[in-house]
Amino acid sequence: MIRDGVLIDDTFAEAFGMKAARVLVTADTAGWARQAAVSACGFATSVIGCGCEAGIERELAAQETPDGRPGVALLLFAVSGSELARQLERRVGQCLLTCPTTAVFSGADAPEGSEPIPLGRNLRYFGDGWQMSKVLQSRRYWRIPVMDGEFLIEESTGVLRGIGGGNVLVLARSRAQALHACEAAVAACRELAGVIAPFPGGIVRSGSKVGSRYPKLPASTNHRFCPTLRGAVQGELDEQVGAVMEIVFDAVDDTAMRAAMRAAMQAVCQVGADGGVLRISAGNYGGKLGKHHYHLREIMQ
């Protein structure tokens, strides 16, 4: 399949199941809501070393939030519900509770048959006995006294069945051209619901493979796509490829993942061969890592 001079490989991105939570943070201004969100999503690019993967899903207008203030929706993904709860408590406590004027709400109810995880249930003890609770429309909230007034937080939030590791590889003539195409792809996905690209700016230059020649490392550089190793290893790159960059997606469901990968590939193809893009490919491990397989050509048809 060729679109705008860009070859789309006959391959698939291999993704795997994760646990996810959506959290809404509001503040007196959109700027402070975003500041809180950026802090909460720090050091959350990959579960390989960060414990969770997190990012801003989208910004929210005042009429979209529970307290009528501007806000931001966050998505967090982890390999288990217990790890998700641990990461959420730390990030809310250290990054959202501490940020001026914020409040925190659940962004998704627990699916039928599943237990919610704590949001403010444990953080309420920071109030040192002065915290107060209130139930509104069967939802419990905690009011924790802080030095700028009070911190309002919902008691718990639902755990969603997420999908992690969907990806698109962009192969281009130069690093600048690969980066430009990936920037366009990330911008095209920015307003999509239910999906994040957790790496810096949505782009990762250090795509990995499972395992390493060093036994203690769970992952290592994807040497087949490293242009400096061309000729030294049996790889995926011909002489024209000067750089490869990857966009990794986490999504709350299959529909959101497919929409993000489609939007990303369409944006890359719009940059096209004239912009230096040669191929679109994907990272997989022969189906051994995850049960979710996203075939690029099928998504683009």
Name the residue range of residue 281's domain: 2-14+163-300
Quote the pLDDT of residue 97. 98
Q: For residues 45 and 48, give the distance between their C-alpha atoms in angstroms, rounded to a whole number.
A: 9
Beta bridge partners of 161: 19
Domain co-membership, 254 together with 147:
no
Helix (H) or strand (E) holding 73: strand 71-78
Tell me, yes or no, whether 203 and 178 share the same domain. Answer: yes
Whether residue 98 sits in one domain with residue 207: no
Give me the pLDDT at residue 111, please.
86
Cβ atoms of residues 267 and 6 within 8 Å? no
Give the pLDDT confidence score for residue 285 in this predicted structure.
86
Burial (CB count within 10 angstroms: exposed 0-12, middle 13-18, buried 19+), residue 112: exposed
Q: How many Cβ atoms from other residues are within 10 Å of residue 125's Cβ? A: 12
Positions of the chain with pLDDT lower than 50, given as ranges = none
* Residue 254 and residue 122 share a domain: no
- pTM, two decimals, is 0.95
User: 175-189 and 254-271 are packed helices; what angle lies between their axes, rounded to 10 degrees?
Assistant: 140
Looking at the structure, do residues 219 and 149 belong to the same domain, yes or no?
Answer: no
Q: How many structural domains does the chain have?
A: 2
149 and 184: one domain?
Answer: no
Domain boundary among 160, 194, 227: 160
User: Considering Cα of 3, then 200, then 164, then 228, what sign does the dihedral take?
Assistant: positive
Do residues 120 and 156 both lie within one domain? yes
Residue 131 is part of a domain; what is its CATH number?
Answer: 3.30.70.520
